[in-house]
Amino acid sequence: MTILVTHWDTDGIFCLYLFYKKFGEDIKVYFSGPRKIETTLLKIIKENDKEEALYITDIAATQEAIYLSSYFKSVIWIDHHVWNDMEFTSRVKIYVKSYKSAARVVAEYFGIEDPYLDFVDHIDSNQIENDIERDFRDLVVAIRNEYPKSYEVWFKDIAKKLYNGKSPNDIIKEYKSLLSRFREFLRKVEDTVVLNTKLVKVGNSEFFIVNTQYNVPSFYIVEILQKRLKPELDYIIILYGDRAEIRTTNNKNVLTIAKIFGGGGHEFAAGFMIQNEDELIKKLRDIFK
């Protein structure tokens, strides 16, 4: 039996779709994220035999996660994030390429040609080119927002629909009412996002720090600020409690900052943990001295 752990976003769904193309539908699937991967691996160890093959896609490893995954006889991490230096065990293999999506790395690893790779590249790099890409991205977020305890079932169903020949546009039409409800929710939170945004100038750079009370993905926050404030933003830091996501629309390297805080991610999209906003601002001023 093949076990797959993949990210709980559009890229993760398309990774699963490619695994269905490679192995068929008879695989065990778990959805996780960079802050939950260790907990997910503990659950998988409890529920599965160590002789099974484990694949992990679209999630950068931590050192603890590498050790935990080594419980299984065969472990392959397939990813597109920037990884920190770590110690690997003999059971763990990695295949990491700095592509726009993990799905493209999965396709390359298995030698799969697929018509949707550009589609998922555009969504995961937030370089949306048409309404279908935007609608599909928003649908995936809408499902997690409305069904936080059962979204995994929906995501597996979407991946199976793709595998069985349905197009992204077909799937969007099927869940049109759900998408409409989510769009209405986003319209209602716009003012709150803007009112909870603080501009902090550090040297020649501008940091837009957003304290959000909603679990709205960072790319929506960025789009709201671009629409309501200005299109070119040096740094946007969105605070979700003790977790921070950092973005840019001005080609700044946000990964450098995230790493200073012990985080990681991509050059233009990264994350890290914080103690509080005041400490964050103080450290930013120290960094930019």
What's the mean per-residue pLDDT of the chain? Answer: 94
Do both 130 and 213 map to the same domain?
Answer: no
Q: Decide which of 140, 174, 208 is a domain's last residue.
A: 174
Q: Is the predicted pLDDT of residue 138 greater than 90, yes or no?
A: yes
In which band, very low, low, confident or very high, does the pLDDT at 275 lie, cut at 50, 70 and 90?
Answer: confident
Supply the pLDDT for residue 203: 85
Supply the pLDDT for residue 82: 84
Arithmetic mean of pLDDT, 237-258: 91
Whether 185 is in a domain gets the answer no
Whether 102 is in a domain gets the answer yes
Whether 164 is in a domain gets the answer yes
Supply the pLDDT for residue 266: 81
Q: Is the predicted pLDDT of residue 289 greater than 90, yes or no?
A: no
Q: Is the predicted pLDDT of residue 59 greater than 80, yes or no?
A: yes
Do both 205 and 154 map to the same domain?
Answer: no
Supply the pLDDT for residue 85: 85
Do both 169 and 246 map to the same domain?
Answer: no
- One DSSP character per residue, the chain reads -EEEEEESSHHHHHHHHHHHHHH-S-EEEEEE-TTTHHHHHHHHHHHS-TTSEEEEES----HHHHHHHTTSSEEEEEE-SBPPP----TTEEEEE---S-HHHHHHHHHT---TTHHHHHHHHTT---SHHHHHHHHHHHHHHHH-TTTHHHHHHHHHHHHHTT--HHHHHHHTHHHHHHHHHHHHHHHHHHHHTEEEEEETTEEEEEEE-SS---HHHHHHHHHHHT-S--SEEEEEETTEEEEE-SS---HHHHHHHTT-EE-SSEEEEE-S-HHHHHHHHHHHT-
Do both 129 and 222 map to the same domain?
Answer: no
Q: Is the predicted pLDDT of residue 214 greater than 80, yes or no?
A: no
Q: Is the predicted pLDDT of residue 176 greater than 80, yes or no?
A: yes
Supply the pLDDT for residue 99: 95
Arithmetic mean of pLDDT, 114-132: 95
Whether 180 is in a domain gets the answer no
Supply the pLDDT for residue 263: 87
CATH number at residue 124: 3.40.50
Do both 160 and 196 map to the same domain?
Answer: no
Do both 34 and 128 map to the same domain?
Answer: yes
Arithmetic mean of pLDDT, 206-233: 90
Q: Decide which of 144, 174, 204 is a domain's last residue.
A: 174
Ranges 2-11, 210-219, 241-250, 261-270, most confident? 2-11
Supply the pLDDT for residue 244: 93
Q: Is the model more confident about 130 or about 255?
A: 130
Q: Decide which of 174, 209, 224 is a domain's last residue.
A: 174
Supply the pLDDT for residue 269: 86
Do both 138 and 19 map to the same domain?
Answer: yes
Q: Is the model more confident about 288 or about 154?
A: 154
Do both 143 and 13 map to the same domain?
Answer: yes
Count of the separate structural domains present in the chain? 2
Whether 213 is in a domain gets the answer yes
Supply the pLDDT for residue 265: 82
Do both 135 and 42 map to the same domain?
Answer: yes
Supply the pLDDT for residue 166: 97
pLDDT over 70 for what percent of the chain? 100
Contacts 24+ apart (CB under 8 A), 36-39: 37/5, 37/61, 37/62, 37/65, 38/62, 38/64, 38/65, 38/68
Digit-coded pLDDT (tens) for 4-27: 999 999 999 999 999 999 999 999
Full residue range of the structural domain in which residue 277 is found: 191-287
Supply the pLDDT for residue 126: 84
CATH number at residue 198: 3.10.310.30
This prediction's pTM:
0.87
Whether 49 is in a domain gets the answer yes
